[in-house]
Amino acid sequence: MGCCSCFGFTRRRKPLVRPAPGFNNCLSQEPLLDGDTEYEDDCSYNEDVTSTGNCDESEEQSMGHCDESEAQSRAKRSEEILRSRLENGLICRQFPVKETHKLVRSEDDNGNKMINEYVRECKIGSGSYGKVVLYRSSVDGKHYAIKAFHKSHLLKQRVAPFETAMTDVFREVLIMKMLDHPNIVNLIEVINDPETDRFYMVLEYVEGKWVCEGSGPPGGLGENTVRKYLQDIVSGLKYLHAHNIIHGDIKPDNLLVTGNGTVKIGDFSVSQVFEDDNDELRRSPGTPVFTAPECCLGVTYRGRAADTWAVGITLYCMILGQIPFLGETLQDTYDKIVNNPLVLPDDMNPQLKNLLGGLLCKDPAERLTLDAVAEHSWVIGDIGPIPQYLCWCKRKRLQEETDESKDDDSGITNT
């Protein structure tokens, strides 16, 4: 059974692990791993893809509501943090994302559908709330992956007691406007015409594969390939965490490999932002089988540690081609994540076994940090340590400090 397959499950409750009121862990007929559905309309809304586990009103009432003011303040605080960063120029990219407020739908000479300058070629996948389509720019000739949404559908779908899918997409856009890293998919343009129901995110097109594509028992991808992939994942995720962003849905389907073998992290639809080192979260992360044990227990959890657990599950998938904790139902899966020991092959590389054991430690306080992962002997291997990346905001800060130092020196000389 490959790690990127889709798993359905029947509704069944077990008493061992029960999400707390207000958590986004409702038992429903959503698949344990994301699925895919074909669409006829160019901007059809994907109601079958999962990540958020939506709860209907009656189910929320039976589970109990989280405190209204607390939930609303969390959502508002996240939005305020993002808006404040943008307004104060606290973004980590040299060139801003293009904002387009006019949508023109047309056809080219060959009858291909167009949105503005982009010519539609084919559907290439699904995000958490909409499909992803390959387009070619008629201006620069390059290919772009465009995520297409219906705003009306996003506003109707609740993903938390006081948040809609539109909240998630809006937050995803704000987050991606701040980011620029070689191991993160780049947002190029946002098309949001207030006169239409259409909404588009124009992303760089990664012409490659998912990190687990081609893996499967018994060989997986091989340690050398996985080591390079893991270095890229850790580099990108460390960058996010350094900028106070929790991805929330690290898994093979959200890790794309370019033609030259570089991994890029994508899909920030359930990502969260925080201030300082306070990465305490309540809403559960994206995909059940990649969920950390502490996220299954109905308590607040630390976002960085939860992301790191998901890296461990992803590493396990890449090496062994399967999921380590998988039940027949969502509740079974949560039970196994919390209670079952990690089982690794006896003949596995001892260094790799040590790394997986550290990443998949049930206790988040004892779990390896990303800094420790980056320094682990297996990760360094024969290819050396993860290259240090000096991001744009750090380069800008260093330049400002250098300029200030020059001004001070000049002042001293003049006196």
Cα-Cα-Cα-Cα torsion 212, 214, 218, 224, nearest 10 degrees, comes to -70
What are 292's strand-pairing partners? none
Q: What is the CA radius of gyration of the chain?
A: 22
Residue with tokens 């991994």, as numbered in its chain: 263
What kind and span of H or E run contains 313? helix 303-320
What are 263's strand-pairing partners? 257
Q: State the binding site for ATP.
A: 147
CA 404 – CA 397 distance, rounded (Å): 11
State yes or no: is 249 an active-site residue: yes
CB neighbours of residue 39 within 10 Å: 15
- Catalytic residue selected from 249, 267, 279, 307: 249
* Tokens linked to 258: 């370019």
What kind and span of H or E run contains 393? helix 392-414
Contact 2, 316 (CB under 8 A): no
Nearest to 20 by CA among 300, 254, 238: 300
| CA distances in angstroms from 228 to 15, 213, 262, 315, 324, listed in the order given | 41, 15, 8, 11, 22
Instruction: Give backbone dihedrals phi and psi of 113, rounded to 5 degrees, phi first.
Output: -65, 145
CA 339 – CA 15 distance, rounded (Å): 13
Q: State the binding site.
A: 147
Sheet with strand 263-265: strands edge to edge: 209-210, 255-257, 263-265
For the chain, how many residues are written? 415
DSSP conformational letter for 363: S
Instruction: Decide: helix, strand or coil at residue 101.
Output: coil
CA 200 – CA 221 distance, rounded (Å): 34
**Encoded amino acid at 240, one letter:** L
Active-site positions read 249
